Structure 1
């Protein structure tokens, strides 16, 4: 903490610089992290740790695993990725051969037409008349989404096309001319395809049975379309979301296009999908390793969890963080009684929403058991050929997706190894990842004040999102309904617009902060920090504020709370990165996340004896909750 600080700065003038001014030079900050943020520095260390686990895959170790082990398959996939990345020609040829074989393997008694070709790819790619299995947050189920064809080949630039001929070792001359001619012909086909259908102004929502009745006069045989998509397993009660406004012209066009042209288009769309995956790195060894790790985490996310949980997140740590969350939630609940700007009816609704809010930390218990995780990946076997393995995994992902229709599942919104957290409005759920619960941000043996100011502040932030300038529209059950009285809602909007106006005045290198863009997270920052502060006070009492729990540090608990909070947002990014994020990020720039929050807290000014009128203790303060 001392190493990151610039104590030559007056904390009452710029507390961010006081707390973080030495970040780029601090000896204990890894060199590769000094141009990044504090939390991203932790993420880099976790990524390196996961990479080491994947690289520790000697033949003898792989033999020690049973053949159905998900961890073994993940390590095999990583190893084959490292070996195969440099030769994209092998992937190109494998993919073409696989698609040719699938095209020839026509189902018995099946008509070869455009509908058949639309669904000939097993890689979740149905581009002639697109179908997706779509997660609906209002219903919390997966539904069928019908959408319009989109331009993909038309967005490929000349440089990318040239790189493809190089990567696939397509010889100059007739071979390369055929490659280019086919691409340009298919680009014209795609232009015609996408011009023949438009999207509805309002999405049509029906059961599949109702959709078939309503559209029985369409030129398209929708029954056959869905049978091809789901191999005859579709159910009449499934929900269909239809964005397409009339398919007659499109179907007429497809019926009069040569099947070889349609097949070539599907093949190219699949090729571009895989090419984007294959080329997510360069030939640099470190970048290839990072890309292969990312691929493993994408396809084998659950496979790594038992090992990760066992090594970096024991049950005591989880229980400790949940106890902090419990204190913050109870504090927030109690403080709702003090807000005179809420009427009793709205206050009751707010309390119900808060009580109903789930707070999850790290993982669900079943993810600790390797036998259950192995079962998840039981249908997958790795071959040692990365390109073939990637096709296996993409087929499996698409197969699971198609089987998810009408299932009431909660999708994974963020890998639990990520150093982050989120609030899901449609679930009324706050989730704190394992990645957040790592040194030096959190430790089980930290003095309580550092836990509440660190991980507690993040927990409070995510809880507060349930009551921010967007999520206030959702009720206790994650439904978008109005639970506010007119008067309370008017008061709420006045309070958060005070924050918007305040953050609009922050200027970085001549560029003004957009307080409206960052409104939701400004509320969460301010409220989360206040709730964490009062939760610590509620647990320890006022006497604890004056204690100095860390040897060799002159700071009291009250001062340490604000110092720990501020250092969560230490960053050494360059000016260009700062300005880009200032214009596009829904979070305020790190310095303003600190100074904005603390300038609204009289408790901070009291801790550091800031006189009224200083930068950190302005006359006007904004408090939402």
Structure 2
């Protein structure tokens, strides 16, 4: 789609032309080598105030300004130390509000800072990259030690996914006008947020709602910053920017990261450049690519069959709700209303199937690129930041297609929209084939459909009503009985062992996905059995598999879609940071 000639009826679409131009700049290693690191270092020096580790004792701290540095990086989509952005209001799903939250950290989880192999590789990564970028190595070793110790200190207060899940009720809701009284720190969050949103020409009002989460992290990081030198703050913050941009540098600089990735992720080689660049374009301009994908590769029959399966599986779920013995009638009836209100999106948004390209043109009107890959990346980061900020005043269209393009191989449930979506990319083997026996499709995409429906009623989804508002809509009695039952899931998965690294799963952290997995397979299997009752002898046997019943093949295909292979390092990361259990479970 990115290299073959465009179909005649799409050759004029500007977003596709620009997507291919961006791809060409990404795969053009010769041009990337010629441009070298001049552009990125110029940006660091002129826009960010330099990276002290490269300048030795000559770096001048007199012009350092923390808020200004963080603001410049936020303009380029980098939330470092403090995260902020726009999200649907969890109490009123028809509008957006502002979120303030903990940023990510270099090694993702605080436990990784106790792993000597990983931390050694991480410090070597910083050191080796700095040495490759400068001739002045006089302060590199001391600076690397300070950068690492600063981040390790921060990591002690960084919330894990399990802690974020368990402590949602600690989130504070306030307004811009009251922010400094509600959340008092030495860092002026009110002024910072006003300046961030002014980047997108949004003037914040005193009554704009702000949600603050992970308060302990934000307060402690602010204290750590207060007790750190301006050189250390500048060194660390710019390092985090550089770390994220290594992948955009020439190959000899990208390869410096390889030993760290081997220690941290277990990977021993970089993917082919064409794959990296294809994923990059799909992540950033996927709806443009989808225009070609649905025309050339997507079978419209998949939409109709998927809708039929959704209806069948939802009806099965409704029957399960009606026969539930632990829910009282009030909670049961409200759950039925929510299940019936679930909006489904299948394949692609309608505008991509139309000859009218105005929606696509408007979506990507700023995505105009040239031959310089790094300039294109920096421009793209600005565009994405602006997009995330300027929607604050827009109403939320709860019936709109979500942010993931049709070329995504995944499926989603959105609590604020009460919406399930199945992009065209997942409606293919092994999940789905229009000519496959129903037992395979129900064991594949059917289980995924059930999984996403169940998300609306898992430990997180059950906190949102049918209109996507996070309010208490089950009775306290039903909530108590739900918590008893979810504890059974937590305990069950906490006993599972990933044998290749001899570690147990985190049943609390993965509970939402495990509830959805268990509900999804059950709903899909019952729905398939109901389908068989009205379509007897319609499902054909597959050659060489006549020894297996249709029900067995249902579960065999379900097992097949979760086949996977992990490195030890990846398995460890999955357990520490993932909300999904490994495929075998």
Q: TM-score w.r.t. structure 2 length? A: 0.70
Specify which of 208, 218, 221 is matched with residue 238 of structure 1.
208
Q: Distance in 2 between matches of 1:103 and 1:157?
A: 23
Residue 523 in structure 1 maps to residue 515 in structure 2 = yes
Structure 2 residue aligned with 1:431: 421
Query: Quick check: which has more Rg, 1 or 2?
Result: 1
Give matches, 1:43-82, under 5 Å: 53-56=1-4, 65-66=11-12, 69-82=14-27
Specify which of 261, 275, 278 is matched with residue 290 of structure 1.
275
- Equivalenced residue count is 519
Structure 2 residue aligned with 1:10: none
Say if 1:74 and 1:296, in contact at 8 Å, map to a contact too: yes
Structure 2 residue aligned with 1:164: 129
Q: Distance in 1 between matches of 2:346 and 2:245?
A: 35
Q: Note the C-alpha offset of 1:150.
A: 9.0
| Structure 1 pair 540–288 and aligned structure 2 pair: CA distance change class (3 A) | same
Q: Which moved more, 1:205-214 or 1:316-325?
A: 205-214
| Structure 1 pair 560–401 and aligned structure 2 pair: CA distance change class (3 A) | same
Q: Distance in 1 between matches of 2:149 and 2:566?
A: 45
Q: Distance in 2 between matches of 1:472 and 1:176?
A: 55
Residue 318 in structure 1 maps to residue 303 in structure 2 = yes
Q: Note the C-alpha offset of 1:580.
A: 4.6
Structure 2 residue aligned with 1:385: 372
**Cα displacement string for residues 39-71 of structure 1 (whole angstroms, at most 9, x for unaligned residues):** xxxxxxxxxxxxxx32337xx999x944x6222
Q: Note the C-alpha offset of 1:388.
A: 1.3
Specify which of 308, 317, 323 is matched with residue 338 of structure 1.
323
Residue 372 in structure 1 maps to residue 362 in structure 2 = no
Q: Note the C-alpha offset of 1:577.
A: 7.8
Residue 96 in structure 1 maps to residue 41 in structure 2 = yes
Q: Note the C-alpha offset of 1:399.
A: 2.2
Q: Distance in 1 between matches of 2:144 and 2:270?
A: 35
**Cα displacement string for residues 272-306 of structure 1 (whole angstroms, at most 9, x for unaligned residues):** 44235543887978532222222222222222111
Structure 2 residue aligned with 1:620: none
Say if 2:11 and 2:17, in contact at 8 Å, map to a contact too: yes
Q: Distance in 1 between matches of 2:487 and 2:533?
A: 33
Q: Note the C-alpha offset of 1:438.
A: 0.6
Q: Distance in 2 between matches of 1:88 and 1:578?
A: 31
**Cα displacement string for residues 402-436 of structure 1 (whole angstroms, at most 9, x for unaligned residues):** 32334445795655433322333343322223222
Structure 2 residue aligned with 1:124: 77
Which SS does the other structure have where 2:87 is aligned?
Answer: strand
Structure 2 residue aligned with 1:363: 348
Q: Distance in 1 between matches of 2:566 and 2:227?
A: 52
| Structure 1 pair 552–355 and aligned structure 2 pair: CA distance change class (3 A) | same
Q: Which moved more, 1:553-562 or 1:245-254?
A: 245-254
Q: Distance in 2 between matches of 1:98 and 1:113?
A: 16
Give matches, 1:214-613, under 5 Å: 226-227=194-195, 230=198, 233-236=202-205, 237-241=207-211, 243=215, 270-275=241-246, 277-278=248-249, 279=254, 286-369=271-354, 370-409=357-396, 412=402, 414-485=404-475, 487-489=477-479, 491-497=481-487, 509=499, 514=505, 516-517=507-508, 518-541=510-533, 544=536, 548-550=540-542, 553-554=545-546, 558-559=550-551, 561-569=553-561, 571=563, 573=565, 576=568, 580=572, 583=575, 586-588=579-581, 590-591=583-584, 593=585
Say if 1:148 and 1:194, in contact at 8 Å, map to a contact too: no
Q: Distance in 2 between matches of 1:532 and 1:381?
A: 45
**Cα displacement string for residues 570-621 of structure 1 (whole angstroms, at most 9, x for unaligned residues):** 6363795897589556555545x5xxxxxxxxxxxxxxxxxxxxxxxxxxxx
State the Cα RMSD in Å: 5.0
Q: Note the C-alpha offset of 1:471.
A: 3.3
Q: Distance in 2 between matches of 1:427 and 1:184?
A: 45
Q: Distance in 1 between matches of 2:35 and 2:28?
A: 12
Q: Which moved more, 1:229-238 or 1:261-270?
A: 261-270
| Structure 1 pair 167–395 and aligned structure 2 pair: CA distance change class (3 A) | farther
Which SS does the other structure have where 1:133 is aligned?
Answer: strand
Q: Which moved more, 1:319-328 or 1:335-344?
A: 335-344
Q: Distance in 2 between matches of 1:176 and 1:512?
A: 41
Q: Note the C-alpha offset of 1:520.
A: 3.7
Q: Note the C-alpha offset of 1:229.
A: 5.5
Q: Distance in 2 between matches of 1:130 and 1:249?
A: 13
Q: Note the C-alpha offset of 1:437.
A: 0.8
